[in-house]
Amino acid sequence: MKRLRKKCFVTTGIMFGLLALILSACASKEKQKKPVTLTIWHVYGGQTDSPLNDMIEEFNTTVGAAEGIKLQVTVVSNTNNIHDAVLRAANDEPGASELPDMFISYPKTILAMPDPDILVDYREYFSEEELAAYIPSFLEEGTIEGRLVSFPLAKSTEIMFIDKTLFDRFSDATGAKLEQLNTWEGLFDLSIEYYKWTDEQTPEIEGDGKTFFVHDYHFNYFQVGTESMGESFFENGDIAYGKKFEKAWVPYAKAAIQGGVWLNEGYATEPLRTGNAVVSVASSASVLYYEDIVTYEDNRSENIEVIAKPVPYFTEEKKMVMQRGAGFCTVKSTPQKEQAAATFLKWLTEPENNVRFVTQVGYMPVTEKAFDVLPKALEELSDPKYKSLYEAFIETQAFYVFYTPPQLESYLTLETAFEEKARSELRIANKSWKTGEKDVGTLTAEALEHLKESMQK
C-alpha cells in the first residue's frame, strides 16, 4: 500500500512537472508571439539612414528577441518638429498624432507640457547603483522637479573648431600660436590681430579685414563664462549683469568692435566654410557640417584641415563648458512597457554600445566607463576630423566641469532677445569705430549700457 501510494506521488509529481514545462513553453511561445511593442520618435539621422535605427534593429534581433521587446520607429525628424508634435499631442489638439511610447526631448519640451506627470520617472526602473555609472550633470539636466524623466543617451557640448590651414598661414606671417586659443583672452587678442593682418593685405581698400572668430551662441559664452568665475549669470529669472559678466564682456566686445568677431546671423559653420572666419565655437554635433574644403567669396576653393580643441577658458578661472543633448522620455502606460523601455536604454548606454552609437553622430557618451572605451574606438575612426573631435571630448571630460542651464520659464525668451540685441549693439559700435567717432574703450562701455537698456524693453 505504501509502495503504491509512493508510486502515485511520484506519478503525480511527474505529471505536475510536465504540466509546468508545457505551461512554461506555452508562455514562452506566447511571449515570442506577442512581444511588447514600443513606438519611438527620435532625431538621429533620416528615416532610411539613421545610426539609431541601426542600433534599434540590432536590439530587436538580440536582447529584444530574447526579452519579448520590439521597438518600432515611427518618426525621425528634428528636435523642433518633435517638440511641436509632442506638445500638440499632449494638449489633445485637433489632428495631432498620438504620443508615442518613447520620444526624444529637451527639458524645454517637458516644461511646456500641460502635465509632465504622464512621463515615467526612470528612478523606478534604475537602481541607485546603476545611475551612479552615469555622468551626474547629464542626469541632472533630465531631472524635472525631482523626477528623472529625460534619460541621457548621447550628449553634445561646445567645442572649438579651427581651420588649421588658414591659421597656419596667419601663424607663419605673425607668429600666432595655437596655444593662445586655450584662453578667451588669447583668442580675442588674436581676433584683433587677425583683422589688422588681413586688412593690411589690401592697403588700397580701407577697413576690409576679416573676422577671426565666430560663436554659435553668444548667450552661452556669457552664461558659462560668468558662472565659471563664480558668479550667477541669472537673478530672479533675469540676467544679473554682475562684475564677472562685465569681465567677460570687455575682451569680447573690444574684439567684436574692432572687427575680429562675427556678428551676423546664422550658424558658425557658414563663415568657416567660406573663409570668413578661422575659429568657431559651436555644438560638437556640428562636426557633421564642417567640410574639408573652403569656398571663398570669389569662388576660389581649397582643401583645408579642420581640427577640434576644448573651448577656451578665462585665465586662472574654472574650466567650464555647456553641455546639451536631448534625452529619451517614456510615456506612462503599463509596467511591462515601461520596463521594456528601461531595458532598451540600459542596453543602448552600455559603454561599448554607447560609444559605437555616439561616434557615428558626433556626440559624447553618457557614462564614465564609456569615456574609458573612447581611446580604443578612436583607432577605428578613419576621418581625422572625427578623431580630433573625440580627442577634444576626452580632454573636455577629464578637465572641464559640465554646466547645465537652469530650468527657467524665461530662459528661451532671454536667450533669443540677448542674441539679437548683443549682436546688434556691437554692430552699431563697430560702425562707429570704423569712422573713428569714438575710441574702443568708450564704445565697449556704451554698448553694454545700451544692451542692458534694450533688454529691459
| Residue 230, CA distances (Å) to 319, 396, 408, 411, 414 in order | 11, 19, 20, 20, 21
**Cell numbers found for residue 258:** 574692432
Instruction: Say what the pLDDT of residue 90 is.
Output: 94
**Span between the terminal Cα atoms of the chain, in Å:** 100
**Cell numbers found for residue 168:** 597656419
Instruction: Say what the pLDDT of residue 362 is.
Output: 82
* pLDDT by 10-residue block (mean), the chain, 457 residues: 43 48 48 79 78 95 97 90 93 94 91 93 97 94 94 93 96 97 98 97 90 95 97 95 97 98 90 93 86 86 94 96 90 97 98 93 91 87 89 92 88 92 96 92 97 92
Q: How far apart are CA 4 and CA 14, in angstroms?
A: 15
Instruction: Say what the pLDDT of residue 46 is.
Output: 65
Instruction: Say what the pLDDT of residue 285 is.
Output: 82
- Amino acid symbol at 77: S
Instruction: Say what the pLDDT of residue 360 is.
Output: 85
Q: How far apart are CA 319 and CA 209, in angstroms?
A: 31
Instruction: Say what the pLDDT of residue 29 is.
Output: 46
- Amino acid symbol at 172: D
Backbone torsions φ then ψ of 196, nearest 5 degrees: -65, -45
Instruction: Say what the pLDDT of residue 19 is.
Output: 46
Q: Are 325 and 363 in contact, with CB atoms under 8 Å apart?
A: yes
